[in-house]
Amino acid sequence: MSKTIIAKAHTNIALVKYWGKKDAQLMLPQNGSISLTLDHFYTKTSVTFDASLNEDQVDFNGQHLTPKQATRISHFLDLVRTKSGETARASVKTSNHVPTSAGLASSASGFAALAAAGSRAAGLDLSLTDLSRLARRGSGSATRSIFGGFVEWHAGHDDISSYAEPIQDPVDWDIQMIAVVLQASKKPISSTAGMQRVVDTSPYYPAWVKTANADLVAMRTAIANHDLTSVGQIAETNAMRMHALNLSAQPAFNYFTADTLTAINAVQDLRAHGINCYYTLDAGPNVKIICASADTAAITGALSQHFAADQLIVAQPGPGISISEA
């Protein structure tokens, strides 16, 4: 039996989002993206390659997955085996401290941790850039969870040119997110299926790519200037344009619930009363509020009129991947 490697990766929330692939096999996005890695949500994964195993053994949050349930993980491990020359099956144990498939980027932290633990357990010593490329093959947004702080994923045109790199880490100014966890359950359509439907059927998709690329330029400037207002405004507009694409697909779909709209309205009302806060949403109902820590009490106080205290999670900028041997 080979050594057991443990990796911990934090989730990231996109401020400028990727929504649509130009190469599904290589997971190349139609446009680049910028995210903020968060400290509160993470995945911890251990990988051990074991020649005595006949198939990959995957335990997810204490539950053993069937081979069918573990297909996506096994396919990713096949990439690791191909790169490393490792032939053994693997024992994988992963604990997800993120609600799964609910729009809080559980696959991002999950595949970043799997890429790091799996590659090291197989004898590879990859650079962070190469780890970012590898993680991308499991989940596009995982390419960003290799790094902490503000991160940009370059769309690229092939496997080599599509990777993430940090813009600012550590983050040395006051910005945070408050996650409003509305529905820790499986979403109505997966991110993969949803974005493909949009690419295939939305008449507005070319405009999305154009405006998203412009948002990248503006967001880089806002981050460099420590300009929370501009970061929030760009992120909020970018998110709503992404969700508008979903409504323009054939057939249309959306990830919002009534509680999503309640949270959005609450943020807009807070802003109207002078609190500098903005919302963003990924492929799920949960709302993430971009704000300064000085406004935490005012924001959570207003939201507590609509949501329970355990639905409001304050998250600071988080670190990049960590890897250790068991």
Instruction: Locate the DSSP E strands across 51-155.
Output: 57-60, 63-64, 89-97, 150-154
Exposure class string for 268-293: b at 16+ Cβ within 10 A, else e: eebeeeebebbbbbbbbbbbbbbbbe
CA dist., res. 195 & res. 46, Å (int):
30
Q: 264: alpha, beta or left, given left = phi > 0 and alpha = psi -120 to 50? A: alpha
Residue where a domain stops, chosen among 156, 172, 188: 172
On whether both 41 and 168 belong to a single domain, the answer is yes
Burial (Cβ within 10 Å: 0-12, 13-18, ≥19) of residue 239: buried
On whether both 154 and 293 belong to a single domain, the answer is no
User: Which pLDDT score is estimated for 103?
Assistant: 53
Mean pLDDT (10-residue bins), the chain, 326 residues: 92 97 96 97 97 97 95 98 98 86 74 98 98 97 98 98 98 97 77 95 98 98 98 98 98 94 98 98 94 98 96 96 96
Q: Would residue 206 count as lying in a domain?
A: yes
Other CB atoms within 10 Å distance of the CB of residue 131: 27
On whether both 192 and 86 belong to a single domain, the answer is no
CA dist., res. 29 & res. 248, Å (int):
20
On whether both 17 and 137 belong to a single domain, the answer is yes
Contact status, residue 105 vs residue 151, Cβ threshold 8 Å: no
Q: Would residue 272 count as lying in a domain?
A: yes
Q: Would residue 322 count as lying in a domain?
A: no
On whether both 149 and 183 belong to a single domain, the answer is no
User: Which pLDDT score is estimated for 188?
Assistant: 81
CATH number at residue 253: 3.30.70.890
Q: Would residue 215 count as lying in a domain?
A: yes
Q: How many separate domains does the chain show? A: 2
Q: Would residue 282 count as lying in a domain?
A: yes
Q: Which residues pair with 281 in a beta bridge?
A: none
State which H helix or E strand residue 212 sits in: helix 205-224
User: Which pLDDT score is estimated for 185?
Assistant: 62
User: Which pLDDT score is estimated for 278?
Assistant: 98
Contact status, residue 15 vs residue 153, Cβ threshold 8 Å: no
State which H helix or E strand residue 196 sits in: helix 191-201
On whether both 157 and 199 belong to a single domain, the answer is no
CA dist., res. 318 & res. 124, Å (int):
25
User: Which pLDDT score is estimated for 184?
Assistant: 56
Contact status, residue 136 vs residue 3, Cβ threshold 8 Å: no
Q: Would residue 109 count as lying in a domain?
A: yes
User: Which pLDDT score is estimated for 195?
Assistant: 95
Other CB atoms within 10 Å distance of the CB of residue 305: 8
CA dist., res. 109 & res. 130, Å (int):
16
Provide the residue range defining the domain that includes 50.
Answer: 5-172
Residue type, 174: D
On whether both 234 and 157 belong to a single domain, the answer is no
Residue type, 72: R
On whether both 152 and 257 belong to a single domain, the answer is no
User: Which pLDDT score is estimated for 98?
Assistant: 74
317: which DSSP letter? Answer: B
Other CB atoms within 10 Å distance of the CB of residue 192: 15
Q: Would residue 325 count as lying in a domain?
A: no
Q: Would residue 324 count as lying in a domain?
A: no
